[in-house]
Structure 1
Amino acid sequence: MATAAYFDDTFVPVAGTTTIPVEEILPWAVFGLLIATIFLYFVSTEQGAFSLFDGMYVHEFVHDGRHLLGFPCH
């Protein structure tokens, strides 16, 4: 019969670990927010009332994702 390890506590500390300083996380958080904002723009607004590109290529590329996220387009 195989036995599994059993721990009383769900958190098992590891010796010598430290937390990540905010100064190191902040640039990545800002970058992630920028990418998320650009993604949201293309899915929600591009080829609608305001568009940066001519034609319907961007609209057709994100069309199903637009409806999946609840944005109307037609």
Structure 2
Amino acid sequence: MNDTVFKPSVEPVAIPLRELMPWVVFGGLLMLLAIYFVGAEQGATSLIPGMYVHEFVHDARHMLGFPCH
């Protein structure tokens, strides 16, 4: 019986926090924008006139638990 040990030939490289932080901030801003459009884009807080955005994200509003009617 052979005893073989698997040794990875490539070691994982740690990503420095300074390189990762701009992407985390960018992703967070995109998520906040998405939550705004799904959760608050209607009525008095509307940035875009009409109900186009509301109708586009209507099912997502219900899935995430935002009331709309």
TM-score normalized with structure 2 length: 0.82
Residue 14 of structure 1, CA deviation: 5.5
Percent of paired sites with the same residue: 59
Q: Which is helix-richer, 1 or 2?
A: 2
- Asked if residue 30 in structure 1 is aligned to residue 53 in structure 2, the reply is no
Report matched runs for 1:1-74 at 5 Å: 15-74=10-69
- By relative contact order (CA 8 Å, sep 6+), the higher-ranking structure is 2
Counterpart CA distance in 1 for 2:11 and 2:64 is 43
Count of aligned pairs between the two proteins: 64
TM-score normalized with structure 1 length: 0.76
Counterpart CA distance in 2 for 1:14 and 1:36 is 37
Q: Deviations over 1:11-52 (max 9, x none)?
A: x76544321000010000000000000000000000134110
In structure 2, relative to structure 1, the CA distance for the partners of 1:23 and 1:14 (3 Å cut) is farther
Equivalent position of 2:3 in the other structure:
none
Counterpart CA distance in 1 for 2:25 and 2:9 is 29
SS in structure 1 opposite 2:49? coil
Runs (5+) with no aligned partner, structure 1: 1-6
